[in-house]
């Protein structure tokens, strides 16, 4: 709990794609003590809250609600009065048919300080992800956004259908699926031509996005035939004709796929975001985690005497993190390396070093231990001292080859990989069409939790980040379908997009 007076941030989560969250919204979530969220808020966004923050789902959705609006507002006020920094997370934008105005009024009346953090409304984002520009110089110069929550057949709604029935404007309805027939009837009654194009975008910006295109005359029948349901955005106007030329999201190679990410939680976020941007849904289920090595003193001693070495070799970004954590704990920084040269197994490891102000002296073209050994042998001399800072359970190929070449190698475990216990892993992984492994240990962690892994994975596409990981999978009886030429998560994703097979 934060000290002092509480505060509330009313944050728009955007329409679903976590990449559309604003930077200010992300900062508010990352610093909160409690987050109160609706069902439309992406889980990936909610998970940005600190691990010890209260995460309270209030379940607001059409036809079902866990708490009333008054109860939600009272909950938020109560949390703030307890001195907490509270994020009230709402789908889309805070003030676009989201009752954010009412919540702000209640906070002001309760003398609770608050901020408004706008979000991207689904009224704008869903058409854009469907390839439909809501304004286009060939079709219209105006657009309107209306609620479809009110059924015009039940009496006056306050919506001026005479003005909305303008063929030179784009009309967007939110929350309209239950009242679509009445809305269409009013627009036709007020003169909007029956041939006017209509698009309905369901689950806009998500990998489950679907788009139904018809006309004002046929849309109700098409919705009934296809059982098209909420949540959806209705777009009416000639701009719908531009969908085929502007279509992009649902043409992505991985669109609609679900991808299981087994790498450790701390490293899964960037990969998950890349999967989202490829049009797929990431399912994050870590099978391994990292912790301190069995002999922390040996690691600390090696770090303390690092300037005694001619070269320091890092075989992963985790090794870099562990090294600099120990360095900081001893009150030192990168200057402690002195004249020692530095090698990294790959670009991500090199990037991690660069973030600590270290420019690497060597990085192999192929990111495996064998290539590191060959490159270092050509850059060092017999008798040179090398510190190999790595995982406790790493293979001995690299140090042995260097020792065979006459180099003096100290192997130090900077961290230890342990398997995650997840009895529900098979259930979590079941919806995924693609399963990714980014290290041999992630394979072992998967098999540890899913004993019949080969049979379970037989109906899925299995992708391994490199040949060592692929070999570990095959040793467990798992068929591997995809191995990229570049042994990085970016290379893995590109290989999946290109349909590369092992």
Kindly name the residue from 7, 17, 60, 257 that is annotated as catalytic. Answer: 60
Kindly name the residue from 175, 177, 257, 384 that is annotated as catalytic. Answer: 175
Contact 501, 481 (CB under 8 A): yes
- Residues paired with 436 in a beta bridge: 261, 463
At 318 the three-state DSSP class reads helix
Which pair of structure tokens corresponds to residue 453? Answer: 């892994």
Q: Is 60 one of the catalytic residues?
A: yes
Which pair of structure tokens corresponds to residue 303? Answer: 């770090």
Composition of the chain by helix, strand, coil, percent to 5: 40, 20, 40
Phi then psi dihedrals of residue 198, to 5 deg: -135, 135
CA atoms within 13 A on the CB side of 449: 22
DSSP assignment letter at 261: E
- Residues paired with 147 in a beta bridge: 174
Burial letters 82-113, b for 16+ CB under 10 A, else e: eebbbbbbbbbbbbbbbebeebbebbeebebe
Residue 45's nearest CA partner among 24, 65, 21 is 21
Q: Is 84 one of the catalytic residues?
A: no
Give one DSSP letter per residue of 432-461, joined into a string: -SEEEE-SHHHHHHHHHH-TTHHHHHTTSE
Give one DSSP letter per residue of 108-159, joined into a string: HHTT--EEEE----HHHHHHHHTT--S-BTTTBSEEEEEE--S-GGGS--S-
Kindly name the residue from 7, 17, 33, 38 that is annotated as catalytic. Answer: 38
The residues assigned a catalytic role are: 38, 60, 175
């Amino acid at each position: 709990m934060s000290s002092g007076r509480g505060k509330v941030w009313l944050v728009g989560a955007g329409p679903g794609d976590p990449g559309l969250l604003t930077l200010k919204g992300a900062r508010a979530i990352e610093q909160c003590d409690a987050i109160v969220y609706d069902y439309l808020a992406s889980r990936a966004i909610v998970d940005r809250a600190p691990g010890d923050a209260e995460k309270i789902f209030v379940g607001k959705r059409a036809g079902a609600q866990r708490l009333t609006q008054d109860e939600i507002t009272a909950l938020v006020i109560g949390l703030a009065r307890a001195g907490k920094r509270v994020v009230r997370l709402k789908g889309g934008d805070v003030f676009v048919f989201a009752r954010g105005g009412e919540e702000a009024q209640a906070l002001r009346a309760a003398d609770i300080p608050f901020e408004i953090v706008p979000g991207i409304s689904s009224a704008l984002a869903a058409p854009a992800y469907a390839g439909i520009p809501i304004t286009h110089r060939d079709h219209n110069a105006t657009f309107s956004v209306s609620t479809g929550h009110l059924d015009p057949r039940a009496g006056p709604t306050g919506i001026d259908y005479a003005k909305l029935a303008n063929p030179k404007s784009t009309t967007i309805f939110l929350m309209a699926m239950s009242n679509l027939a009445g809305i269409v009837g009013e627009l036709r009654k007020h003169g909007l031509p029956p041939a006017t194009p209509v698009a309905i975008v369901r689950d806009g910006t998500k990998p489950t996005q679907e788009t139904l295109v018809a006309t004002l005359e046929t849309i109700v029948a098409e919705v009934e035939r296809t059982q098209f349901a909420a949540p959806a955005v209705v777009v009416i106007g000639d701009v719908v004709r531009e969908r085929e030329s502007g279509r992009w999201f649902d043409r992505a190679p991985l669109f609609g796929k679900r991808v299981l990410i087994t790498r450790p939680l701390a490293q899964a976020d960037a990969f998950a975001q890349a999967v989202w941007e490829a049009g797929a849904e990431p399912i994050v289920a870590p099978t391994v985690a990292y912790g301190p090595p069995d002999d922390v003193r040996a690691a600390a001693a090696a770090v303390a005497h690092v300037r005694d070495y001619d070269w320091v070799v890092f075989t992963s970004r985790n090794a870099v993190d562990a090294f600099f954590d120990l360095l900081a704990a001893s009150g030192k920084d990168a200057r402690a390396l002195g004249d020692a040269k530095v090698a990294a197994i790959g670009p991500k490891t090199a990037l991690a070093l660069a973030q600590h102000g270290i420019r690497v002296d060597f990085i192999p073209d192929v990111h495996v231990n064998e290539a590191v050994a060959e490159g270092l042998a050509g850059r060092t001399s017999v008798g040179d001292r090398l510190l190999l800072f790595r995982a406790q359970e790493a293979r001995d190929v690299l140090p042995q080859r260097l020792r065979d070449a006459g180099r003096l190698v100290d192997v130090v475990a900077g961290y230890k990989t342990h398997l995650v216990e997840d009895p529900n892993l098979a259930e979590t992984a079941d919806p995924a069409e693609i399963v990714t492994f980014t290290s041999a240990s992630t394979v072992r962690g998967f098999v540890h939790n899913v004993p019949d892994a080969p049979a379970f994975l037989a109906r899925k596409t299995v992708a391994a980040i490199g040949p060592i990981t692929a070999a570990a999978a095959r040793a467990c009886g798992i068929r591997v379908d995809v191995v990229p030429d570049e042994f990085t998560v970016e290379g893995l994703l590109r290989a999946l997009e290109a349909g590369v097979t092992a």
